[in-house]
Amino acid sequence: MPRIIPDVLKNLFSKPFTLKYPFEKREPPENARGKPSIDRDECVSCGLCARICPPRAITYDEEEKPIIDLGICIYCSECADACPTEAIQRSKEYELGLYDRSKAISK
């Protein structure tokens, strides 16, 4: 038991390693795969993103612009890598919990 006392005293007065989430948030690392964002003005409706998407989470609306269903998306970023005009980009937004499934559509 006496061997533990120095460790206990050292840890008692040191700063904790964890953050107090959600009040303190850590910045995601560079090139993190968060929510894909779409620049609808840059999109040329080539269809590469929908063809390469593994879970088939990308469809097109009546204007022939992509719509990503974030409830199906696995955040692999294959769509962003395949887009020739870079209309789909990775974002650092990672807090995506929702109560309403209809809000999981990214336009």
Distance CA 95, CA 11 (A): 31
**Within a domain: 67:** yes
Q: Is residue 89 part of a domain?
A: yes
In angstroms, the CA 10 to CA 20 distance is: 21
Whether the predicted pLDDT of 1 surpasses 70: no
Residue 99: domain span: 28-106
What is the secondary structure of 5-28 as a DSSP string? HHHHHHHHSSPPSS--TTTS-PPP
Q: What is the count of structural domains for the chain?
A: 1
16 within domain boundaries: no
Tell me, what CATH number does 69's domain have?
3.30.70.3270
In a domain, 54, yes or no: yes
Grouping H, G, I as helix, E, B as strand and the rest as coil, residue 78 is helix
The answer to whether the predicted template modeling score (pTM) of the entire model surpasses 0.75 is no
pLDDT tens-digit readout, 57-69: 999 988 888 999 9
Is residue 75 a part of any domain in this protein? Answer: yes
